[in-house]
Chains A and B, each alone.
Chain A
Amino acid sequence: MLRFLVRRTLGAAVILFLLSIVAFLLFFGMPRDPGLLMCGKTCTPANLANIHHVLGLDKSIPEQYWIFLHNLVLGSNGFDQGPCPAPCFGYSYHTNEQVWGTLMDRLPTTVSLTLGAAVCFLFVGLGTGMLSAWKRGTLVDKTVTAGAMVLSSMQIYFLGPLALAALVYQSHLFDKPAYNDFTADPVSWFTGLIIPWVILSTIFASQYTRMARSSMIEQLQEEHVRTARAKGMSRRYVFFRYAWRGSLIPIVTIFGIDLGALLGGAIITEYTFGLPGLGKLAVESVNFSDLPLLLGVMLFSAAMILLFNIIVDACYAFIDPRVRLS
């Protein structure tokens, strides 16, 4: 198992490396010149060349990439803005802030948003999905299925503003969504995020409801589940001990992918509610052709997805002894 994890981690490092190359090449393929954006209205060729020099854009692409890698691993003191310890993605072209510092500033927002929502949608989704499977064919099942169908076809940019309009601007029942530091003020942290959580998890939960339901129903038709019933084990026992165990595999898989993707930045949600998370940062970095920031956000998101892929694989081993013992 440990070997497996080590092998997977090495593999993930290789993927990140390749990804950084692709990102580099894509950036230089972009039609916009970041120097021009910084140069302002009174741009002379000499100014532009100077900016290019300061940003290091006058060097060849491989050379720039080498410097990027070197800084990332060993850190650098070669920046005008100040020292940059490893992992160093350099300084943002746009804000002149250290990229890693910016990422770490934005991360708590995304983590709070994602984990809060994930707890909600996992419990609500699995709960309703399993209830639906348990009561298969009844009115409860049909109601849950229909509700999940409707909600899963909703979009954040539709439900989000709707909720804001109804719950915040019209009735003033809730605070305007905002990120407040948890350690400083847990209550306002909670009240500031409650609407984004509910909206984000509504949409995700409906998918988990459907997945949990179909996965449970599929498992309940497995032969080993029938064997357990044939032994006289109660319906409840068989449902929670036998069918539930097998239905976890697809759920964990999707949950891992979703969580990894969300932690890399819930772009639409953050935009809709104006939360300063990684997703918002990613869009900003593209808008300003901010290479260091773009690379930072992108590799961080990718690392999250890869990390959760590895966690999912490790979970398989806990769930299924066939994985563990082979």
Chain B
Amino acid sequence: MSEDVEKDVTAGATTLPAPRAAAGEGSAEPLLVVDKLVKHFPVKGGFPVRRTIGAVQAVDGIDLTVHVGESFGLVGESGCGKSTTGRLITRLLEPTGGRITYRGRDITHASRKELAPVRSEIQMIFQDPYSSLNPRQTVGKIISAPMEINGIDPTGGREKRVRELLEIVGLNPEHYNRFPHEFSGGQRQRIGVARALASEPKLIVADEPVSALDVSIQAQVVNLLQEVQRELGIAFLFIAHDLAVVRHFSQRVAVMYLGKVIEVGDRGSIYTRPRHPYTHALLSAVPEVELEASGKPPRERIRLAGDVPSPISPPSGCRFRTRCWKAQDKCAQEEPPLVRLSGNKDGHLTACHFPEDPTTEARDEDIVLDPALAALEDAAEGQ
């Protein structure tokens, strides 16, 4: 084990590249276009014959564009459909409706055969480094599998390539014949990254790739992914619930709520000039370490009430309206379109009838919607 640690030291610190003239940000060539994508999971029930009586509207008409070489972040809370979106794009799930276009090619309902040339170019990294690697296969076999499946024969042979890949992800090439259980969580996630890289992808869908890892290990994997993205010019769809990690990794970010994209834009717009009330609430909920009395204005404080409603019968109109402090009748009747609001930067789109001011600074009065919390706070103030 200790030798592995030594290896990681070098991998973590020294091979970090100088950020090459930001690969993603300049190029505007679309790699992946998602158009009104829908995924409904049927809900069975009824009597006497079981039939479909409803649907979990996991993803309900979202539009996204991922450009060549960029990292696109997808954030939201559980049940917002971000993971389903990732699985639809990698075609692990069959879309109910809408279109997925990869490099100008419609892959929405492509068969296995039609998908074959694209499969190698879109790879996935999973959350759980323990269950996503076959425990009975050696690391070498795991990493070379995508090459076998896609018929890739690198010069010098697959084994040589696997050893290179192991080195790229900061593992010892000598570990070719070891099994996953011999590695720690962070190292396993590196194996997952190496496997994704094996077929020389153009797009990697990373579904919560660091959330199962300890804080000190998270940073190692984030850095590795960043290195891969910049060095190899691979585009990322980075799906995570941790807003700070997404901000660190992604140039553009989409915020999802109950199967819809409610706000999308470059990271500066989303994190410092959000317009959608939910984005405000989300950012304000992140507990932050104040490292020094910085003199920065304090952040706004918004405390929502209750949990996210069920995606089986989402609210009409704007889906956030049941938890929103600005909701009016219009919000229940009309679904707000995802559009550029006046004052927004180009590409910063918001789906809201009554958007908030573009700032995250504290308001005159905190927004506390949770009744129990509000009551306790009032009582404390009254004393």
Contact = CB atoms under 8 A, between A and B. Distances in A.
The answer to A–B direct touch (Cβ < 8 A) is yes
Contacts of B50: 7
A10 interface: yes
A131 to B, nearest CB: 37
Contacts of B47: 3, 6-7
Nearest to A10: B48
A325 to B, nearest CB: 14
8 contacts: A3-B47, A3-B48, A6-B47, A6-B48, A7-B47, A7-B48, A7-B50, A10-B48
Interface of B: 47-48, 50
A7 B50 CA distance: 9
Interface in A1-22: 3, 6-7, 10
B280 to A, nearest CB: 35
Interface of A: 3, 6-7, 10
Contacts of A10: 48
The 8 closest A-B pairs by CB, nearest first: A3-B47, A7-B48, A6-B48, A10-B48, A7-B47, A3-B48, A7-B50, A6-B47
A10 B47 CA distance: 12
B184 to A, nearest CB: 25
Nearest to B47: A3
Contacts of A7: 47-48, 50
A7 B44 CA distance: 14
Given A3-B48, A7-B48, A10-B48, 5 more contacts: A3-B47, A6-B47, A6-B48, A7-B47, A7-B50
Nearest to B46: A3
A11 to B, nearest CB: 10
Contacts of A3: 47-48
Nearest to A6: B48
A3 B50 CA distance: 11
A101 to B, nearest CB: 35
Nearest to A2: B47
Contacts of A6: 47-48
Contacts of B48: 3, 6-7, 10
A111 B288 CA distance: 69
Nearest to A7: B48
A6 B47 CA distance: 10
A6 B50 CA distance: 12
A244 B233 CA distance: 57
A108 B48 CA distance: 36
B48 to A, nearest CB: 6
A229 B50 CA distance: 42
B56 to A, nearest CB: 15
Nearest to B50: A7
A3 B47 CA distance: 7
B364 to A, nearest CB: 42
A175 B218 CA distance: 74
B106 to A, nearest CB: 39
A325 B47 CA distance: 16
A8 to B, nearest CB: 11
A185 to B, nearest CB: 48
B22 to A, nearest CB: 46
B53 to A, nearest CB: 13
A34 B65 CA distance: 75
A10 B49 CA distance: 11
A7 B51 CA distance: 13
A34 to B, nearest CB: 40
A19 B113 CA distance: 41
A15 to B, nearest CB: 16
A10 B50 CA distance: 13
A82 to B, nearest CB: 39
B51 to A, nearest CB: 12
Nearest to B49: A7
